[in-house]
Amino acid sequence: MAFHKYLTFSFDDGLEQDKRLIRLMKKYGLKGTFNLNAGLFGKKDWVGRIGNIGFKEYNAPGNHGIIKTVEHFRIPKDEIRQVYEGFEVASHAYRHEALPGLKADRFDEVLGRDIDELSELVGYQVAGHAFPGGMSSKEARAYLKERGILYGRGAFSSGKFTFPEEPVNYSPTCSIKDKNVITLFDKFLASDTESEDLLFCVWGHGYEMDYGTARASEEAFEKIFDYVSGREDIIYCTNKEAFMHIHED
Ligand SMILES: [Zn+2]
């Protein structure tokens, strides 16, 4: 086989729930990437949700009618290196700033500083970025590229397995709480790699497994991990490794 199939996971915000994700991912031999904000380590807030849709950060927990909250507690700085050992750490903007409309004179402070501080903390050069809120701009992408960022990940499900023409503007295959993860994965298994490498990238947030719904719970996530793991023809790796096409025979 000249080309390969890569399967990756990409989780955002650097949350306490990542520790549970990592435990599960290790159990199933899976690899992946965690996208962190160097300016927000240890910060505690709560995400409001209705059903499977998370949409707003609160500074207190509660059940506000149909809006429920789940913990969105970020891992403290002194634990980062140890928690993410064996996984890829990538950048996610210093304080999770939105990139569309962000003035170029703030790129150093929002993107550059995040890349530098994370790289220093984990002991290797950070090579990936996930756009906060899934949105970017042409200027921000150009800056990331200039700063040595190999790929930039959005947050809208493409349903596709192809590597993007512009790696710094990549839409993942699906969200871990999408309805069709298993169906898509079956399609991925059946896809041929005669002419190109393929990538199946699942993105999400650790807090989504605390929703306790059919598609967003620890059990639901584990079911996906179990289903996609241990397949002969698939390379389980980080996004950096996939975008570097680590297996190039
Ligand atoms: Zn985020």
Looking up residue 165, the CATH number of its domain turns out to be 3.20.20.370
Q: What is the pLDDT of residue 65?
A: 78
Specify if 11 maps to a domain: yes
Q: What is the pLDDT of residue 249?
A: 57
Q: Confirm if 20 and 80 have CB atoms less than 8 A apart.
A: no
pLDDT at 1: 52
**CA 114–ligand 1 middle distance (angstroms):** 13
Which residue range forms the structural domain that includes residue 112? 5-39+78-243
Q: Are 71 and 61 in contact (CB under 8 A)?
A: yes
Q: Give domain status of residue 54, yes or no.
A: no
Q: How high is the pLDDT of residue 179?
A: 96
Whether residue 12 lies inside any domain: the answer is yes
In a domain, 22, yes or no: yes
Residue with tokens 């590597």: 163
Can you tell me the distance from the alpha carbon of 122 to that of 218, in angstroms, rounded to the nearest whole number? 27
Place of tokens 């959005």: 154
Classified as helix, coil or strand, 157 is coil
What pTM value is reported for the model?
A: 0.96
Separation of CA 90 and ligand 1 centre (Å)? 12
**Nearest by Cα to 40 from 80, 105, 94, 103:** 94
Give pLDDT, residue 57: 84
pLDDT at 22: 98
Question: How confident is the model at residue 26, as a pLDDT?
Answer: 98
Residue 53 domain-assigned (yes or no) = no
**Domain membership flag for residue 90:** yes
The answer to the question of residue 178 being in a domain is yes
Q: How far is the CA of 92 from the centre of ligand 1 (A)?
A: 7
Residue 66 pLDDT? 78
CA of 204 to the centre of ligand 1 (A): 9
> Which pLDDT score is estimated for 247?
72
Regions in the chain scoring below 50 on pLDDT: none
Domain count, the chain: 1
- pLDDT of 58: 84
- Interval 19-40: pLDDT, tens: 999 999 999 999 999 999 999 9
What is the CA(79)–ligand 1 centre distance, in A? 19
- Separation of 96 CA from ligand 1 center, angstroms? 6
Write down the pLDDT at residue 140: 98
- Sign of the dihedral through C-alpha 231, 6, 83, 204: negative
Structural domain includes residue 44: no
Measured CA to CA, the distance from residue 116 to residue 114 in angstroms comes to 6
Position 248 scores a pLDDT of 62
How many whole angstroms from 196 Cα to the centroid of ligand 1?
31
